[in-house]
Amino acid sequence: MTVVENISWSGLLKNTNLTAEHGNDGNHIAMATETLKQAAHQFAQVLNERARLFANSAQFDTALRDAAAIRALLPGSGLGYLCTGDVHCQQGRYAAAISIYDQGLEAAPESDPYYQQLQQQRMTAVSNNSKRVDFISRLPLDIVITNIVPRMERPVYLDSIVLYEPLYVSRTWQARFLQRPNGLDFDFGQDGINLKRDHDQLVRFAPYVRSLSGSLYDDNCLDDLLSRAHFSNLKRLVLYCDAPPHRALIKGLQLIGDSLTHLVIEGSPIDVGLHGILESCPNLVSLDVERVEAAMSSPVSSRYPKITHLALDDLPDGPPSQDDVIDILSRLPSLLSFQITPMPGSGVLTILHEHCPYLQKLDYGYPNDASFKYHLQKIELHPNRKGITSAHLGYEGFDYVQDDLIQFLHLHRHTLETIQFGCRSIDSSNCRWRLQNGHVVSQARHHRRYLPTSLLPENDPTQTKTIFTRLVNVDFSLCDPSSSCGFMLWLISNGPNLKAIHLTESHFLPDVSNAIIKMSNLSKLEITKIAGTAEFYDPIISFMQHHVAMEDRSTLKGIILHIDDGAMHAVTWLNLISRMKHLKDLKLLTGTIPEISLPALEKIGQGCSSLESLTLGDTYFRYVYFTDGVIKSLCQHPKLKCLTINAKSLSAADFFALSSFPSLERLRLYCDIPPLAKDMLRNLIPNAIIV
């Protein structure tokens, strides 16, 4: 006997032709079948109503299940297809609805009571499917330009050739996008592209371009591009000149001079002078230019009061004369920031305030190198504030004269906040003043004729005591210890609010160590070029022991140690760090952490009761090697919240030890660790952020 398991429900409702009949059973079967048909239609109506209710409650999958049951029960009826299509429409899936309506129109006869509804619903779905609602046109402009457009993924600079798709969605989208307050940022000038005929996208949107950058190669000239459209709103231009540009550069600048406020020119020597650039762009606020002819050829009466930032890097003819620099500065009465390399004579420092009274940031003689610029802190400039706030005194150019440095620092004693003292060669011969035990004293005999024979008492450091009232940060890491020790003692001893010092191990002489010990507000110390040299052992030990003895009264919260690769074993005073109770941030930056250093690290893991942040290893080194057990020696620290690891790799034991820190909240791993391993750590340390 064969058992039928897959039953076709629609087949149960069909009339059966009997080949044999017992009595009046045929009529009874027909009546029973009709009763089933009526019950099926009633059941389908109940399923249809329930599907509608499910769909209204956003239970779309359940609603589609009921609609499918209707189609299985009554495949020749339009009801199931109509129900399914209506659910799709509620979901906004009009294409799917159209497809199911088409199936229903094919399956149901024209006499079906739902046939016309299928046709009508299909027409409605087709209409809705063809609609494209431009929501961006219905939103307030401020929401579009401040919330939506900034969140769109886009490059920093738009390519002048490759189409940027959001600009071509629709006219409405384009109009809204172009209403951004910061305008468009474009990049041009790839090698081999002709400025006379390419860059159609840039030319098309020229009136909306606020920032433009690119390179000038071979015979490409700036005016070839800028003459093709009206760049009426261009504010910032950054150029890299691979070949020396000619007068066409000036012609190009003149085309945008009325709107341009920020100009950067880098690359090959420029055969136009500073004067030509300033005259071409009368509204410039900021000018940063390399290898330009600095001497001014314009009349002395020409002034540029809008310039607030000027950077002259890699001047092609070597250090400029003092007269040329004074001639430039005398024309810039509103200057807030000045950078020059190589530097002129240090006599300029003593008269800066006379020509540029609002100058606040000075970068004097620093090489045009990213590694040095990294150290230059950004400060907030105020157009109405007088006096230099940040001074970075470099070493490329003429030697410094000791009197000039003393007078410069004294004149700005009430405003200086940050000093990077990179002076490597200081001429102290025949000077009026000398530095002694942290004070300025007069010399009995001097022969410097260019200094005034008499100074106002407030300008004479021997008559008015020099107190650097606002000084909080000094960096001596680039200067020569032999010539700068006197300045170090003077600045440290007379900076009552000094909080951060950066110096090398070779600067840690006994007098310097004693001066730092006497500081009442020191919170951060950074020491570079640590080799564990015996000569500086005792001064460093004295400093460390002082802060250990201060216990909770110590103000020192952060220590950064740059240890020479392979020298960590010689830095025996590391043990003392573990006894500093108030230290919160420690950075041990080195290329190798050997096994001999594990006891010191273990003491840090058990001591340093306030330590919250720890960094191990230095990204400066290509490969940083940790001996096995580095992490394990530290993992019991009870309060450490942030741990940064810079290493080529970690042993398995150290890797799993990362999950043992009881209070860890953030872990930064700069190691060769597979992503799956990081995912494993995230499971082991669910409360920590791992990057």
- Residue 17 pLDDT greater than 60, yes or no: no
- 84 and 178: one domain? no
What is the pLDDT at residue 127?
87
539 token code pair: 């001064």
- 218 and 79: one domain? no
Residue 178 lies in a domain: yes
Of 410, 499, 415, 503, the residue nearest 462 (C-alpha)? 410
- Name the pLDDT band for 371 (thresholds 50, 70, 90): very low
CA distance readout (Å), 506 to 421, 498, 512, 530: 15, 21, 11, 8
- 156 and 242: one domain? yes
**Average pLDDT over all residues of the chain:** 86
- 245 and 219: one domain? yes
Residue whose pair of structure tokens reads 């820190």 in the numeric block: 661
User: What mean pLDDT is predicted for residues 49-58?
Assistant: 91
Residue 330 lies in a domain: no
Per DSSP, the three-state class of 427 is strand
What is the pLDDT at residue 197?
78
- Count of structural domains, the chain: 2
- 169 and 246: one domain? yes
- Name the pLDDT band for 446 (thresholds 50, 70, 90): low
Q: What pairing do the DSSP bridges indicate for beta strands 585-589 and 592-593? A: unpaired
What is the pLDDT at residue 288?
95
- 237 and 109: one domain? no
User: What mean pLDDT is predicted for residues 315-334?
Assistant: 92
The Cα–Cα gap between 80 and 108 comes to 10
Residues 6+ apart with CB under 8 A from 156: 185
The Cα–Cα gap between 457 and 649 comes to 62
Out of 14-23, 212-221, 460-469, least confident range = 14-23
Task: Indicate the burial class of 368 (C-beta count within 10 angstroms; 0-12, 13-18, 19 or more).
Answer: middle
500 token code pair: 């951060």
What is the pLDDT at residue 10?
56
CA distance readout (Å), 633 to 585, 641, 644: 18, 16, 15
The answer to whether the CB of 378 falls within 8 A of the CB of 340 is no
Q: Is the dihedral of CA 470, 476, 479, 481 positive or negative?
A: positive
- 116 and 216: one domain? no
Domain encompassing residue 110: 9-14+23-129
- Name the pLDDT band for 420 (thresholds 50, 70, 90): very high
Of 638, 633, 588, the residue nearest 615 (C-alpha)? 588
- 165 and 285: one domain? yes
Give the range with max mean pLDDT: 150-154, 222-226, 295-299, 604-608.
604-608
- Name the pLDDT band for 3 (thresholds 50, 70, 90): very low
> Which of 260, 293, 326 is the last residue before a domain boundary?
293
Phi, psi at 653, each rounded to 5°: -65, -45
The answer to whether the CB of 582 falls within 8 A of the CB of 557 is yes
> Which of 293, 317, 341 is the last residue before a domain boundary?
293
Residue whose pair of structure tokens reads 């990057």 in the numeric block: 691
Residue 70 lies in a domain: yes
- Residue 491 pLDDT greater than 90, yes or no: yes
User: What mean pLDDT is predicted for residues 123-143?
Assistant: 78
Out of 74-88, 128-142, 421-435, 573-587, least confident range = 128-142
Residue 225 lies in a domain: yes
pLDDT digits (tens, 9 = 90+) for 153-198: 565 567 776 777 777 777 777 887 888 778 888 888 665 567 887 7
**More confidently predicted of 166 and 320:** 320
Residue 300, Cβ neighbours under 10 Å: how many?
9
What is the pLDDT at residue 140?
80
Dump the DSSP string for 68-127. Answer: HHHHHH-TTSSHHHHHHHHHHHHHT-HHHHHHHHHHHHHHS-TTSTTHHHHHHHHHHHHH
Out of 1-10, 139-148, 197-206, 379-388, least confident range = 1-10
Residue 300 lies in a domain: no
> Which of 264, 293, 322 is the last residue before a domain boundary?
293
The CATH number covering residue 113 comes to 1.25.40.10
What is the pLDDT at residue 138?
73
What is the pLDDT at residue 9?
58
Residue 47 lies in a domain: yes
pTM of the model: 0.76
Per DSSP, the three-state class of 136 is helix
Q: What angle do CA 601, 646, 639 make, to 5 degrees?
A: 45
Q: Is the dihedral of CA 140, 143, 145, 151 positive or negative?
A: negative
What is the pLDDT at residue 179?
82
- 33 and 78: one domain? yes
- Cα radius of gyration rounded to whole Å, the chain: 39
Residues 6+ apart with CB under 8 A from 65: none
What is the pLDDT at residue 532?
92
Residue whose pair of structure tokens reads 């200094």 in the numeric block: 451
**More confidently predicted of 213 and 1:** 213
What type of residue sits at position 494?
N
The Cα–Cα gap between 55 and 60 comes to 5
Residue 680 lies in a domain: no
- 79 and 180: one domain? no
Residue 361, Cβ neighbours under 10 Å: how many?
22
- 174 and 286: one domain? yes
Dump the DSSP string for 266-279. Answer: EESPPSSBHHHHHH
The Cα–Cα gap between 644 and 150 comes to 31
Residue 66 lies in a domain: yes
- Residue 379 pLDDT greater than 50, yes or no: yes
Out of 187-191, 196-200, 422-426, 461-465, least confident range = 187-191
